[in-house]
């Protein structure tokens, strides 16, 4: 079994490219994450043709994000698989639209975001503005990926690693090598955003990192940038990063000396982007930042380290 990595450009400046992985498995081709654009899909198709890959195409999606899934219909796959948690998220988005959007609007409003910014979610949020992508994906009738999946001479094992999305997964392809989607990236910290107050994605994510590390991985194949040759070291760095972040949120609340909204907390956190002032942040970055602040606040609230009071439909957080 040999894994090939194909790299295609995507129109997201912070990420630049997406990795697609492909392998020959008997009379089928197994392909992970087709990517975002039709140009990328046609590069992939040419590669498969030139290298005599089997025509029967099985696509596995590491998670539901548009940069990984949007190009799927362009490849005309015979079968599409994803984790049940992300599969049902997509079905819910499409079949019960705009329910998921309303849940997100509700938590962002409670988080203290101004109404004028919340109202633009379905136009400016990278996922919420691409309901068309999820509609065409749904038409391909994605199936839940079984925990053990054998195709020809390939035997794959699925490890559920929720956090970045509810159905993010790592797929063991043999010899402690894992395809990990966006759960571990080599030089970017994956976005862990809360979009529904009833969830605790940062708790899930840290647990997923521990689970992955305990498997003693030798190589990780991420959705963006380079392959990770020292998985445990990188996983450790990500855990430390979030611990620092949690400390930062606590110290922001401490210094404020009064209860703050999640939006106010987000505006005081340090962000690794080119804009110095919160007011200059592009709106999509504000959505990511607020989602990230909320995921850290929810984690701390569940641990009993911060408390929240709701007044006039807005949460205010303080140190307990």
Angle (nearest 5°) at CA 152 between 151 and 158: 30
Strand partners, 181: 222
Return the number of the residue (223 or 291) whose C-beta is nearest Zn ion. 223
- Convert 79-111 to b/e letters by CB count within 10 Å (16 or more is b): bbbbbbbbbebbeebbeeeeebbebbbebbbbb
Q: Does 83 bind Zn ion (CB under 5 A)?
A: no
> Which of 65, 105, 110, 296 touches Zn ion (CB under 5 A)?
65
Shortest reach from residue 54's CB to Zn ion, in Å: 27
Nearest approach in angstroms of CB 100 to Zn ion is 16
**177-196: which residues touch Zn ion (CB under 5 A)?**
182
Strands (E), 90-168: 143-144, 148-151, 154-160
Smallest distance from Zn ion to CB 178, Å: 16
CB of 270 to Zn ion, least distance (A): 22
Nearer to Zn ion among residue 202 and residue 308 (C-beta): 202
Interface pick for Zn ion out of 24, 30, 34, 67 (rule CB under 5 A)? 67
Q: Which region holds residue 30: left if phi is over 0, alpha if psi is between -120 and 50, else beta?
A: beta
Q: Which residues contact 260 (CB under 8 A, 6 or more apart)?
A: 252, 253, 316, 317, 318
Angle between helices 283-302 and 231-256 (to 10 degrees): 90
Which C-beta is closer to Zn ion: that of 112 or that of 142? 142
Q: Judged by CB under 5 A, which stretch of 25-33, 90-98, 222-230, 291-299 contacts Zn ion?
A: 222-230
Minimum Å gap between C-beta 27 and Zn ion is 30
Residue among 166 and 223 whose Cβ is closer to Zn ion:
223
Angle subtended by helix axes 231-256 and 201-214, to nearest 10: 150
Nearer to Zn ion, 8 or 261 (CB): 8
Among 223, 261, 262, 281, binds Zn ion (CB under 5 A): 223
b or e along 240-267 (b: 16 or more beta carbons within 10 Å of the residue's beta carbon)? eebeebbeebeebbeeeeebbbbbbbbb
In whole angstroms, the minimum distance from the beta carbon of 39 to Zn ion comes to: 17
Which range of residues in 19-27, 34-42, 221-229, 295-303 is near Zn ion by CB under 5 A?
A: 221-229
Residues 2-41 that bind Zn ion (CB under 5 A): none
Q: What is the CA radius of gyration of the chain?
A: 20
Minimum distance from residue 10 beta carbon to Zn ion (Å)? 8
Instruction: For Zn ion, give the closer residue by CB, 18 or 25.
Output: 18
Judged by CB, which is closer to Zn ion: 86, or 182? Answer: 182
Q: How many residues at the interface with Zn ion, by CB under 5 A?
A: 4
191 sits in the region (left: phi over 0; alpha: psi -120 to 50; else beta) called beta
Nearer to Zn ion, 61 or 265 (CB): 61
Residues of this chain that bind Zn ion (CB under 5 A): 65, 67, 182, 223
């Amino acid at each position: 079994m040999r894994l090939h990595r194909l790299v295609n450009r995507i129109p997201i400046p912070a990420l630049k490219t997406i990795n697609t992985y492909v392998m020959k498995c008997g009379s089928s081709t197994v392909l992970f994450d087709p990517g975002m654009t039709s140009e990328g899909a046609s590069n992939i198709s040419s590669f498969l043709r030139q290298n005599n890959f089997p025509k029967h195409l099985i696509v596995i999606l590491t998670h539901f994000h548009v940069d990984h899934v949007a190009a799927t219909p362009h490849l005309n796959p015979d079968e599409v698989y994803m984790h049940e948690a992300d599969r049902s998220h997509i079905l819910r988005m499409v079949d019960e639209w705009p329910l998921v959007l309303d849940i997100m609007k509700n938590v962002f409003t409670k988080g203290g975001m101004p109404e004028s910014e919340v109202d633009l979610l379905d136009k400016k949020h990278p996922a919420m503005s691409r309901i068309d992508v999820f509609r065409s994906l749904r038409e391909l009738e994605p199936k839940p990926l079984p925990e053990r999946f054998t195709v020809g001479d390939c035997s794959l094992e699925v490890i559920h690693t929720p956090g970045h999305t509810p159905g993010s997964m790592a797929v063991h392809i043999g010899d402690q090598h894992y395809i990990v989607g966006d759960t571990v990236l080599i030089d970017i910290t994956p976005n862990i955003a809360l979009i529904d107050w009833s969830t605790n994605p940062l708790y899930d994510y840290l647990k997923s990192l521990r689970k992955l590390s305990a498997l003693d991985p030798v190589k990780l194949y991420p959705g963006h940038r380079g392959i990770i040759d020292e998985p445990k070291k990188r996983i450790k760095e990500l855990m430390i990063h979030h611990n620092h972040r949690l400390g930062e949120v606590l110290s922001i609340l401490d210094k404020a000396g009064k209860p703050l909204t999640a939006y106010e907390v987000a505006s005081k956190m340090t962000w690794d982007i080119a804009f110095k002032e919160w007011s200059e942040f592009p709106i999509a970055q504000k959505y990511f930042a607020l989602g990230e602040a909320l995921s850290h606040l929810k984690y701390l609230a569940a641990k009993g380290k911060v408390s929240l009071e709701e007044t006039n439909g807005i949460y205010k957080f303080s140190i307990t």
